[in-house]
Each structure stands twice: as structure tokens, then as C-alpha cells.
Structure 1
């Protein structure tokens, strides 16, 4: 019998929906609250590495992911020259195992829809447009008050509510989320036939220029620059700024640039990072995903690490009889060091670029690939 019978999950992203699915499949009564009115309308594209795909298969959604996304097994490096010369195409690590692709790119809203549909199928109850306003713990449970005036009592609350987690703040946890010094332009648009994998260009007017196919007819492209306040720009000005930056890149970028014509498809964010040191729980409340650790997308491991958090936590809750310190110690032992290693490596890659330092990128990426290839 699982260690918990009733669970409140806060946050409808990959971490929250994944842990909800796994617990509900085991017979736990799960309620998921999401402050946004529609969790499927957020974001452009997402890169899912093999270790993320391994968890998605465990959730029972692999066929839908494969149908909605674009799988590929290699990584290209191009030069910032007038032709966008392909320097090398290399096999990418299959971190989910030999029977899964190295990578799947897909539209982020499609991933959200697939996970939410699966959660509903296994009995998770949803409440959108609200979140908790108070958490009161005792020895046997947690009384929760919600913004809509309702209340509930649960054995456990899982805070999967993102980098600026309200659950984390409600627990009084002080955690510095800092900018790494980089900003990223992202655009979701059509896919030229020549784009069949992620290609990266280092140098030129930006630190990184890249793209990832997300379907037969779509991709997302990105440009990484020094972090700037781009919020003063109108959507039309943002589109013009990204197009102008992209003129420093060629090859497939010349085709992509012609497709960048929709201001609403452009977004700009800063790279941010944090790691919650020590335990990620306080009594009967636990944090997972970006609420506990967040890394810039230099290794494309953010979603993967959130999904692995969910899988490990669910496994421990389902396999234990009590919600005790032994369970929490096991969760910390299996997740903290590994998640921190990924965050630190992601930050190191960015710092080398900021410092114009030629670090040992292949060794670092090889070390992290080996680490995440082994299930946590």
C-alpha cells in the first residue's frame, strides 16, 4: 500500500503531471491545481533527451509523443560563415537506452496536452485557475486553503510550480534564483526540409544560434545573447530584432529567417538558475522540478530532470508504507547530487561562452550523458 492516500499536486507542467499520473495509476487519489487557466497554451518548442523519453514511456504516452514530435539521433555543428558550413555531424548519446531516439523535439503545448490527457485518463482531478493560499501541517496531514475559497486535506503536497514556486515561498524557503548573464530569443515557425536535427553555431553576433525540428511542419529556432531588457520592445520590434540578429547566420538559417514573420511566435527570456541545497521537503510538503532546481537550457536537460524527479518520488511513495525520514533520505540521495551536477554543468557551459574561454565541452557533455543514461 502506498505511503500516501491523498495527494495535492501544485503545478501542471511536466513534473506535476508526471507525478500525478504515476501516483494515480497506483491507486492514490490525486488532485492537481494549476494557477493558469490553460496549461496547454504555454511555450513554443521543447527538446526532450533520451532520459526524458524513458520517463514518458513509463507514463504510457510514448506513442503519442512519437506521433506529435520529431525524433533524431545526431547533432550538427556549423560555422558562423557565409555558407553556414556544416563542420561535423555526430551521433548523439541515447541517454534513454538503445531502443529510444537520442532526442525528440516537439511543440511544448502538445507535450502538455498529452500529459494532461493521460492524467485525466488515469483519474487525476484537475482544478485550473487557482492555487493554494495557506498550508497548515500536523502529524497526520495538511489542511490547504485555496484562492477560490475552498479547502481540502491531504496526506502530501507536491510543489511542482516552477522556478518562482509559490509553494516554496509559502514554506519560507529562501532561495536565490539568479540570472546567468545570458538571454535567449525563441521562435516557433515552419520547418524547412533541410532541418532534420539540431544544429548549433557558436560565435557570430550571438553566443549560440540553433534550431530543433519539432514536427514534420514545425521547428523552434533560438539565438543566445547577453541578457538585456527586451521588455520595452513591441512584438513587432522583437520580431525585427530577432530577424536582424539571425542575419549573421546562414545555411538553413537563411530559410528559417524567411519564415520568421509572426510577432506572436517570438519570446525572449533570461537564463536563470538555482539549486535548493539539502532536503527538498518540509514535513509533508516536497518540491520537485524547477521549484527545487533550475538550469539554463545549454544541455537541454530541464524537462528531463523534472520528469526524473517525478518518477523517483512516485516510485518511493508507492513502494513505502510510511511517509517518514527514511523515504525522504532516499529521495535526497537519489536526486540531489545528480540534479546539482546537471545544473552545474549547464551553468559551466554558459560561463565558458561568457568568458570567451575554450573549455573542455566534449568531456563535460560526455560526463553528463553518462550520468543521466543510468536511471536515478
Structure 2
């Protein structure tokens, strides 16, 4: 048994017991959880193990591949360029990246990349995961493709290529790679232990990802040419790839960020707390401009997208209150929730992946307990 480390306000003793029980039962292998209320860290706990053999404890400095929670940092990077007047969310992508105009995409706006409505949610087949490891080459392939549905008419989750599209846009506008921009403009200034990919010096403290059961998608029934099948096979996701050297060396701005609950909260609490010098109130308001609300063409469930972030959709995620909240999470259950009304940030990162892509029973239980405490205070 591994006892949780860290601290929490006494009001969150129930939350600590819940996480400890999941560690004791084996539902969790290793995890970290942070609750930040307007800059006051009320919960900062971690525990469990980095490896399935339970030989190495998850300690304060453990990091893990956070899957699609990475997208929130990538979206923040793009919005910082919007805030600086270097990007216009309503301008065509092709204004900044002329090659993207190919195959009828000349009018697709920047906000479509941020809201998963561009029609380019993966690589045309044949595609293998290794094709994504060269970010510039992969982005060039995406720019040349025709959209898989009419852009702007619906969302289709950009599962693995979200960061390739926005990363190339950032590179064209700023001159730096997405990896460098995040390091120099976000993680460094905020003293946040977060990187895209992971430098070799950090590999020894990375928690091993434990893959979940197979994804619950009936690809044959969906149709081979559907956006769902084309996305999930262009290329197929392989959870165990996160434990490889090649994955850690790559720039996959939609899926291979490495951090922990503390570092992700430190970064994204900038939104909950009014921008903190990275974003103006006007740019934060852009996040809440609804871009799509309906059944996502890739994930097959109702989702609601603003510009860069998910917005509450209680049909699919009833545990996220329907208020001025933006959020997203990672494959297997990691999550980052920014509640602007309460100036509240909740961050949860773990290494044993649960079934499904959007949230998990564990993340739902933690967030429900957190709101029970916050709303009673």
C-alpha cells in the first residue's frame, strides 16, 4: 500500500480518502491531484506507483504523459498569439499558412482548428503512428488533404493531429516550434514542470502509462469512410507508444505533453484567474464563443466546443456544471477544469488509463466531491 503524500485543506479530507481508496483497490496505480481556488492551493496530493510492478513510488516530481490534456496547453499557446495581435481566429488559416488552402480549404478559419471543426481530423490513410513524429512533414500532409466533412458544420475530434495543425500555425506566425514556444513563453515563466515530449534527462521520473481496454468503437458499423474511422485509423492510437523513446522525442501537441497535476494547474489556472498577464479578458471571452454543439463526428457523443476548449455538455459529462467553465482531459481520464465564476482550477493526472476517451468514473467522482465541498463553503 502506498500512502498519499502532500497536503489538503481539511474540507477535502473526503477527496483524499477517495483517491487513497482507489490507490488501495488498484483502480489507480499512481496519480496526482490539485485544487486551486484563486491562487490558493487547497489540495496538492500525489501517491501510488510509477510502474505496474509497483517498485517505484510516484513522488512529488513524477511526471506522466497526459494525452489530450496537452491540447489545453497548445490552445493556450495559440490564444496567446491571438492576444498579441499576431493571429485572428476569424481569419483563414491560409493567410498564415498558404499551403493549407489546398483541396478547397482556403476559407477555413483559424477557430476551426481550435474547435475541431476544420474537417481535417487526421491523416489520410495509409498512416502509422510514426508518421506523426516528424511534425512538419505530417502538417504538410494535412495541409494537402481535402476535408472529410464540410468545415464548420460539425465537430470531429482532432484526436492526434490537433497540435500538428496549431503547431504549424504557431511556427508560421512566431517562428518557433510549438515545443519551444511552450517552454519559453508558458512553462518557463510560470515555473511549471511541463514539456511537449520529454527531454532524455527527465525519462527516469516518468510514470509508465498502463493502457486501457480497447476503445469502445464499432468501426465497421461506422463505415470505413466515416470521419470516425478515418480519424481513429489515421493513424491508430497505441497507448503503449507513450512509453517509448520515439514518442518522448516527438512533438505531438495534441497528445504527448508530460507533466503532473501541479504543473498543469499552474499553467491553466491562468484562465480561471483572469489571464494573469498571458491572456486579456477579451481573449478569454473568445474561449466561450460556441463553435459546435452536437454529436461529434469522431467520438460519437454530444460535445460542445468553444475556441480551444470544451464547454459544459451535461448530456455527456453531467458532473461538469453548466456555467462559465472550460475544460478538457486526456485519454484514460486525466482532466483539467477551469471554472471562471469561482476562479477554481481542478487538475488530475494519472498513469493507469481507464476505459473511454472523455473522462472516467474516477475523474467524475473526484470532481463531484470537489464541487460538493466548494459549493458547501
Q: TM-score, normalised by structure 1?
A: 0.28
Higher-Rg structure is 1
The structure with the greater share of residues assigned to strand is: 1
Q: TM-score, normalised by structure 2?
A: 0.28
